[in-house]
């Protein structure tokens, strides 16, 4: 029972890491693109195209981050 609960919590952390990656992309990267001279429409299109990439990268990153947290014994 405890093992199953730990797996659910790990996937919640992974989902949170994926969401934070997407949020970071919209907040920070969009500002950078606007400062570089892209229009608001181009920036929005670019960020929306980046969401599937963030999902692809965010999942494995979340799993890796959880592994590191366990190895370093970080309480979250």
Tens-place pLDDT, residues 23-68 = 988 899 999 999 999 999 999 999 999 889 888 888 788 778 878 8
Q: Can you give the pLDDT at residue 59? A: 78
CB atoms within 10 A of CB 41: 8
Contact 2, 48 (CB under 8 A): no
- Rounded-to-integer distance, Cα 10 and Cα 64, Å: 11
pLDDT score recorded for residue 9: 60
pTM of the full structure: 0.66
* Mean pLDDT calculated for residue range 7-36: 84
Distance CA 53, CA 51 (A): 5
Single out the residue of 61, 54, 57 nearest to residue 30, CA to CA: 54
Tokens of 35: 């400062």
Q: Please tell me the predicted confidence (pLDDT) of residue 36.
A: 95
């Amino acid at each position: 029972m405890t093992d199953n609960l730990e797996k659910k919590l790990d996937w919640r952390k992974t989902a949170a890491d994926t969401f934070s990656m997407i949020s970071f992309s919209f907040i920070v990267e969009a500002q950078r693109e606007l400062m570089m001279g892209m229009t608001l429409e181009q920036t929005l299109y670019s960020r929306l195209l980046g969401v599937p990439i963030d999902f692809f990268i965010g999942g494995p990153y979340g799993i890796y981050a959880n592994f590191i947290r366990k190895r370093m014994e970080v309480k979250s």
